[in-house]
Structure 1
Amino acid sequence: LLLGACAAEHSEDRAPTLGSVTNSGAAPDETADPDPETTEELIAALNPHVVTAHNRLGMLIFGQLVSQTRPAGGADAETDDESVFISPISIALALGMAYNGAAGETETAMAKALQLEGLLQEGLLQEALLQEALLQEGPRQEGLLQDSTTTASPDADGTRLTRTDINASNLALLEALTGTGARLDIATSIWYRQEFALNPAFVEETQRYYRARISALDFAAPESVDVINRWVSDATRGLIPAVVDQLDEDQIMLLLNAVYFKGDWTAPFDPQQTRDMPFYRPSGDSRPVPMMYQDGRFGYFEDGFQAVRLPYGDDERLAMYVFLPPRGADFYEFSASLDYETLADAFSRFVPGHGEVLLPRMDVSYKTRLNAALQELGMGIAFDPGRADFSRLHPAGSRNIYISDVIHQSVLKVDEEGTEAAAVTSVDFRVTSLPVYDFRFQADRPFVVVIRDDATGALLFVGAVVDPGV
């Protein structure tokens, strides 16, 4: 979860903000229908370079996770095939909030891992100095950063950004994503140990740009675990009931981002057409699965593989893209080939065509630790108790804070009516009160699915389904 304090409202029993990030008081089912003109304005205000960075980060992590699931003996090895399903937007927003607490080498490393390094090369030093002033001067200087960073605003091509620009773009993305015809809820919360003081500037940034709920808890009280898990369950409509089993003595903060999606197909599948058919897994064996069927006009693309676009809702803004490798191809190599650039090119090349679509029902659950993937991308220092610098989290600039774990959980359910999906990303911050040690020892074949907002280009979910799970 994330860290927050000071002027924050602390109410452990308040329901999470869902349905509309622009109205923190709206109940989940009271979300107004999106205004097309307002939605277009929000999308126009987005910085596409930031969305690209989020998507690239998600696909880099996806590629690493798929590689990790490959059996040691190759695709033909006898093993339980594991599907991979993640939410790039959830991971990017959660780590974006954590990035606001980083300083020094940790800040630089996180910017590189989050694919923001090239965007932040101009104006970053100036903003870092201003942030240091905030830390030293306290609440009296809270307005300094916003007023003084105007000279480091992006160029016309959007490639010179400050931390504030990144945050503002994330807020614009959050607001733009609420204007879809399907249901898409994005919620954020920070739960921190009540004895721990948070930097007011960090709290203000998180509430302003990420609409985060910030709550202090007695981490020693058993009921605190229930409070956090209840928020997660509510935010994901029960698809993900829990993210934490216990709170340890050295934990000081949990930062959570939750994404919930529910969309009805624009053209539903007819349940009467669903038949049990074999699904061939990478290991070579097969098992019967409920295979849905429909024919009609679909967005279609073929270039050594097949891909089909299945839209949601009347506006068809959100869609599932299914990428099917050639029969007999190495699925793990195929998944690894689908990097961000390949997807971006493919998305622009779908054309309408008349055809048949056979897609299995899906019920996939996935949970993974992202530490290794993020360390591979260059932010290992953030996990190092002896080197991590998250001094922007604490009013006194304490440098004994580090990230212990980044955990990602997700669920995907697909049937004849549509899709329901959810994901939660949790960032676990801890404090080093003990000595620092040198180490701590502890379709009818697989396919890739991407759920994307075509208006903003944001990748909401991406998955490698090697077994539909039904």
Structure 2
Amino acid sequence: MNRQKLSGMKENFLQRRYAVSLGRRYVLAAASVVLFGVLGCSQINGNSNALADSKMPQSELPVQKKTVIPDTKLVNANNKFGFKLFSEILKQESSEKNIFISPSSLAIALAMTYNGASGSTQQAMSKTLELQGMSLADINSDYANLKSLLENPDANVQLNIANSLWVNKDVSLRPDFLQRNQDFYKAKVANLNFQSASALSSINNWVNDNTQGKINKIVDQIEPNQVLFLINAIYFKGQWSEKFDQSQTAEHPFYRASGQQKPHPMMSQESEYKYYENEQFQAVSLPYGKDGKVSFYIFLPKQNSNLKAFYQNLNAENWEKWLGQFTSQEGLIRLPRFKTDYEVTLNDALKALGMQEAFSNQADFSEMGKNLTISQVKQKTFVEVNEEGTEAAAATSVGIVATSLREKPEPFKMIVDRPFFCAIRDNQTGSILFMGSILEP
């Protein structure tokens, strides 16, 4: 048996390992889509079919082991980018609207796109994504290791990350760009006839399948000048380490930012939690699974404060500082059952963070093909929290078209009966998978 056949068998085995059958409930999913088009009538670089794997250079495959911790630079970069993005969205959204995003899904989709950027466009994306000082090889390798480490961390916490590239059959992209996305991001690459009605269904069906039905549509239409979609999907299924007793759930008032109140089902539990409190807010970590490798974090402003004041101090530096002050403490938590969905176009936020050129006719994605520019970045999300766990979904589309030992204290009481900030974090890597502003459950 030759070496090439052995390599193929090894790759098929690894892919089957990731094809884990995930359940239907308590799901957290995210999908990111990157859309590409051609400027005018110009041709994409090269004449070979985009899937001509036999002609692709064989880049060095990443070594993926559960024990490999990715460079903290990448996790720190993603979290810093996530908080910057969240801050920009807050500026643009209504003060009465729930917000819930997946900075991790967007960062992965943009990292795949980054593999095609060059010149000043690459520099602008590097600055926006906080990747300065990291080589492309390091970024790709660290993402491969991070994916391996994040997936399925616990018997009761399942996480699957899937990537795909959908190429118009009339377009050829640079083989090394496609190969890097296949090698490091395990991206599925497929050719479609974008003029066919079935192309839209094929793309959206993949997103639906890889988010367990939580995001059933991310691409609304395919423009005539569209050449490529890059999609990231994250699926999370987690049960609380200690489920809430449904018999303890009762209606209590929830106070909106306006001061108005409404009766709402509130879950209650007394236990020992990782907890932190200062003059501005209370914060608690609710773990998933047996080992608490992933947690749901809630930051509740004090009665004399509010979310607006809290967000003035919310950044990556303070986030790490606050997490370092969490300690185990007994207490009571009362948390609303809530469900919300959210959709946002991220063009303006990313431009404000420094990616203007990537959206312009001056965009340089020559490492991918000729005359490409980003047209739209959009994210859809869904989240539900109840007594047993968390179910949520996010889909992000990025389109390119024509030119994230002390003295035992008194038990705390944390009544989450007013607007709050929340985040879902992988505690072993520090990666923030989701974050949100819940103004009304």
Give the TM-score, by structure 2 length: 0.82
Say which structure, 1 or 2, has more relative contact order (CA 8 Å, 6+ apart): 2
Q: Is 1:338 equivalent to 2:338 in the alignment?
A: no
What is the rounded CA distance, in whole Å, between the counterparts of 1:293 and 1:83 in structure 2? 22
Query: What is the match of residue 254 of structure 1?
Result: 229
* SS of aligned partner of 1:393: coil
Q: Is 1:109 equivalent to 2:118 in the alignment?
A: no
Residue 70 (structure 1) shift? 4.2
Q: Is the 8 A contact 1:299 1:308 kept in 2?
A: yes
* SS of aligned partner of 1:461: strand
Query: What is the match of residue 23 of structure 1?
Result: 15
Aligned residues: 376
How do residues 38-437 of structure 1 correspond to structure 2 at under 5 angstroms? 41-43=67-69, 46-71=70-95, 81-117=96-132, 119=133, 161-181=134-154, 182-304=157-279, 305-384=281-360, 386-394=361-369, 398=370, 400-432=371-403
CA RMSD of aligned residues (A): 1.9
Deviations 1:377-423 (A, max 9, x none): 11100000x201111112xxx2x210001111111111000112222
* SS of aligned partner of 2:201: helix
Deviations 1:315-361 (A, max 9, x none): 11111110000114232231342111111111111101110000011
Residue 189 (structure 1) shift? 1.1
Structure 1 residues 353 and 258: alpha-carbon distance in aligned structure 2, compared to 1, 3 A threshold: same
* SS of aligned partner of 2:21: helix
Structure 1 residues 40 and 235: alpha-carbon distance in aligned structure 2, compared to 1, 3 A threshold: closer
The amino acid across from 2:355 in the alignment is: M
The amino acid across from 1:27 in the alignment is: A
How do residues 430-449 of structure 1 correspond to structure 2 at under 5 angstroms? 430-432=401-403, 443-449=416-422
Residue 283 (structure 1) shift? 2.1
Query: What is the match of residue 50 of structure 2?
Result: none
Q: Is the 8 A contact 1:22 1:175 kept in 2?
A: no
Q: Is the 8 A contact 1:278 1:286 kept in 2?
A: yes
What is the rounded CA distance, in whole Å, between the counterparts of 1:22 and 1:30 in structure 2? 17
Residue 27 (structure 1) shift? 3.0
What is the rounded CA distance, in whole Å, between the counterparts of 2:311 and 2:159 in structure 1? 26
Q: Is the 8 A contact 1:21 1:178 kept in 2?
A: no
Percent identity between the two aligned chains: 39
Q: Which runs of 5+ in 1 are unaligned?
A: 1-16, 32-37, 72-80, 120-160, 433-442
Q: Is the 8 A contact 2:22 2:158 kept in 1?
A: no
Query: What is the match of residue 57 of structure 2?
Result: none
Structure 1 residues 62 and 28: alpha-carbon distance in aligned structure 2, compared to 1, 3 A threshold: same
Query: What is the match of residue 146 of structure 1?
Result: none
Residue 39 (structure 1) shift? 6.3
Deviations 1:439-461 (A, max 9, x none): xxxx2111111110110011111
What is the rounded CA distance, in whole Å, between the counterparts of 2:201 and 2:347 in structure 1? 25
Give the TM-score, by structure 1 length: 0.77
Residue 369 (structure 1) shift? 1.0
Residue 192 (structure 1) shift? 1.8
The amino acid across from 1:253 in the alignment is: L
* SS of aligned partner of 1:62: helix
Residue 429 (structure 1) shift? 1.5
Structure 1 residues 67 and 332: alpha-carbon distance in aligned structure 2, compared to 1, 3 A threshold: farther
The amino acid across from 1:361 in the alignment is: R
Deviates more, 1:420-429 or 1:308-317: 420-429
Q: Which runs of 5+ in 2 are unaligned?
A: 1-10, 24-63, 404-415
Q: Is the 8 A contact 2:345 2:376 kept in 1?
A: yes
Residue 193 (structure 1) shift? 1.1
* SS of aligned partner of 2:121: helix
